[in-house]
Amino acid sequence: MSSVNSCAASTLEAALPSRRPNLKWLLGFILPVGLALAWEVAVALKWADGRLLPTPSRVFTTLAGLARTGELAAHVLATLQRVALGFGFGVAAGTVLGAVSGYWTLARRLIDPMLQALRNIPSIAWVPMFILWFGIFETSKVILIAVGVFFPIYLSLSGAILGVDRKLVEVGRIFRFSHREMITRILLPATLPAYVISLRSGLGLGWMFVVAAEFMGAEEGLGFLLVDGQQTGRPAVILASITAFAILGKITDWLLASVSARFLTWQDSFKPAE
Amino acid sequence: MLGISNVDKRYPNGLLALSGLNLDVAEGEILAIVGGSGCGKSTLLRLISGLDTPTAGTVALDGTPVTGPRPEIGLVFQEPRLMPWLTIDQNVAFGIRHLPQAEQKARVSESLARVGLASHVGHWPRELSGGQAQRVALARALVGRPKVLLLDEPFSALDALTRGDLQDHLLDLWAYDRPTMILVTHDIEEALVLADRIVVMQPNPGRVRVEVTPPLARPRDRLDAEFLQWKYKLLGDLDHASRPPTGDESFPAVAI
Ligand SMILES: Nc1ncnc2c1ncn2[C@@H]1O[C@H](COP(=O)(O)OP(=O)(O)O)[C@@H](O)[C@H]1O
Ligand SMILES: [Mg+2]
């Protein structure tokens, strides 16, 4: 018994993180920063023409200018609000319908074939209909985003529920779990890893669709800024908008990933070697 | 106490897994069911536990038919089947989730202590060895103090040393509040070490071949001459049970 314990203790110690500050995440910056610097230098030395592809410093000045006038904040806020609303509705609908169709066979037979058929329509194709039905203002934009977010969440949640190990479900049956307990204590945690991944891909699609939504006519928003930059022939504005999208997308994904990581510490998953 | 009468089980695919099975188990008895793989041992335990229902016949506990899982009947599967997202104490608490928090906590620590894992409270299942995980599964099945404990080849995935340890351990646990135990195994030695009575089953369709009550004194010594005699007798029974009688076989081979 004591040998077993000491054995377990030594593996635990080995698994403790090292004390040194972890700077490995900086590795991810080498490539983009290096490329940006190279372009900056190339234009500065007149090896290349920075008119169609402005240098990072010009993009940065443009962003700073937009920020100073308060324009940037207004655009960011408008876009963030659309993504948040669309993502919220998409997640809610995808979660409810995905859970129902995964858990309840009759419901699956009813709704799944239709949703599978609808899924094959590129969501952008709905744009004319949505504008007709919901006007060209916020509602149609939020709905378009929600539709984009809905499908990955619906599909992966219903699939994940059907894929839960029967052996674990039987443990719940032995302990006479009610339907509610079965869902909250076994199905939900068992599907959480897949669900989190679907939330993240749903969020990615949300960012994609907000651009499409703002292309179809908006007075503000980063997508509007993009179109505006194109129509007024200012590539630096386009790139400034793209940069803002990249930063916001990365931050929101990181937030989602780090919040969900707290719930997934139990996972015994593959960790690639350093 | 536990009565199984004229039980048939036919699976939806038409396979007759059990046919005309009769078995009575007394209170506090340790019954071992041995037989090669595919002779319906797991099916029988699933019927007794209420996870599945017989096609014909009845399973009754103290006279009441078993129609679904019941709190008086605990089951340990061949694999630990711990929830990977719960710590081991939370896993054990599964069995008594309706009790008040404080009592749950006391009972869980008590039952983890009894399987020798008191120091592992708060650990994750992934941090356990196979034998430790199976002990947690035992604790989870026992924490609700069932009257009947069913074990489906609980130690078959473990190495011989750990298996011997856990067999002794199981006897200690049994001595504590003496539940009726039905142990399915394909290991004759395991059956002889643990059981008061041994039922040998044969396949196609699954039914009882012989039933023996070895009069061996406890604690049982795996190397004792009488123990070994019983072991060879049962190996012979098992061999006949799993093979059609063809030609002469002077030495009984283990047919598992
Ligand atoms: N769910 C099932 N559906 C159809 N056949 C099954 C099912 N479970 C078991 N069987 C069959 O029933 C027979 C008995 O199986 P089982 O009870 O698992 O045997 P054992 O536990 O003794 O190895 C086997 O032939 C097996 O293939
Ligand atoms: Mg089996």
* ipTM of the prediction: 0.88
Decide: B41 in ligand 1 pocket, CB within 6 A.
yes
Is residue A27 domain-resident? no
Chain B, residues 112-151, CB within 8 A of chain A, namely: 116, 119, 124-127, 129, 132
Q: How far is B247 from chain A (nearest CA, A)?
A: 42
Cross-chain Cβ contact A168/B94 below 8 Å: no
Whether domain B1-72+146-256 has CATH 3.40.50.300: the reply is yes
Instruction: Look at A10-14, A129-133, B43-47, B131-135 and tell me which has the smallest mean pLDDT.
Output: A10-14
Tell me the chain B residues in contact with residue A8 when contact means C-beta distances shorter than 8 Å.
127
Regarding the beta carbon of B51 and ligand 1, being less than 6 Å apart is answered no
B202 lines ligand 1 (CB under 6 A): no
Q: CA A211, CA A208: separation in Å to the nearest integer?
A: 6
- Domains of chain B, residue spans: 1-72+146-256, 80-145
Nearest to A168 among B70, B81, B119 (CB): B81
Give the pLDDT score at A153: 95
Q: What angle do CA B241, B242, B244 make, to 5 degrees?
A: 85
B69, B83, B95 member nearest A168 (Cβ) = B83
- Judge whether A31 lies within some domain: no
Q: Which residues in chain B touch residue A4, judged by CB atoms under 8 angstroms apart?
A: 129, 132
B201 within ligand 1 shell (Cβ under 6 A): no
The answer, yes or no, to whether residue A11 has pLDDT greater than 90, is no
Tally Cβ neighbours within 10 Å of residue B118: 13
Write down the pLDDT at residue B240: 77
CATH assignment of the domain containing A250: 1.10.3720.10
- Going from the Cα of A191 to the center of ligand 2, the distance in angstroms, rounded, reads 28
Ligand in closest contact with the CA of A166: 1
- pLDDT band, very low/low/confident/very high, at A17 (cuts 50, 70, 90): low
Q: From ligand 1's centre to the CA of B54, what distance in Å?
A: 13
Residue A140 lies in a domain: yes
Helices (H), chain A: 2-15, 27-44, 56-69, 71-103, 105-119, 127-134, 138-162, 166-174, 179-181, 188-215, 222-231, 235-261
Choose the residue to mutate in B9, B11, B183 for probing ligand 1, maximizing ligand atoms within 8 Å of C-beta. B11
Vertex B251 angle, CA B248 and B256, to 5°: 100
Question: In degrees to the nearest 10, what's the CA dihedral of B1, B6, B12, B16?
Answer: 120
Contact assessment for residue B241 and residue B34, using Cβ atoms and an 8 Å cutoff = no
Percentage of chain A modeled with pLDDT above 70: 92
Please report the pLDDT score of residue B107 as a whole number.
Answer: 94
d(CA B51, CA B66): 10
CA A227 to chain centre: 23
Scanning A172-201 for CB atoms below 8 A from B yields: 173-176, 181, 185-186, 189-190, 192
**Which residues make Cβ contacts (< 8 Å) with residue B116, sequence separation at least 6?**
A1, B135, B169
Q: Point out the residues of chain B with pLDDT beneath 70.
A: 242-256
pLDDT at B66: 94
Cis peptide upstream of residue A122 (ω within 30 degrees of 0): no
Asked if residue A64 is part of any domain, the answer here is yes
In a domain, A35, yes or no: no
- C-alpha B117/C-alpha B111 separation (Å) is 9
Domain containing A234 equals: 55-261
Q: Which structure tokens are listed for A203?
A: 């969020």
* A1, pLDDT greater than 70: no
Distance (angstroms) between ligand 2 centre and the Cα of B77 equals 9
Question: Do B70 and B147 form a contact (C-beta atoms < 8 A)?
Answer: no
| Count of the separate structural domains present in chain A | 1
Q: Collect all residues of chain B within an 8 Å Cβ-Cβ radius of residue A268.
A: 84, 124-126
Alpha helix segments (H runs only) across B115-224: 130-142, 160-177, 188-194
CA of B211 to the centre of ligand 1 (A): 22
* pLDDT per residue as tens digits for the range A197-239: 999 999 999 999 999 889 877 789 999 999 999 999 889 999 9
The 10s digit of each residue's pLDDT in A76-118 is 999 999 999 999 999 999 999 999 999 899 999 999 999 999 9
Q: Is residue A26 part of a domain?
A: no
> For residue A19, what pLDDT is reported?
61
Band the pLDDT of A18: cuts 50, 70, 90.
low
State whether the beta carbon of B40 lies less than 6 angstroms from ligand 1.
yes
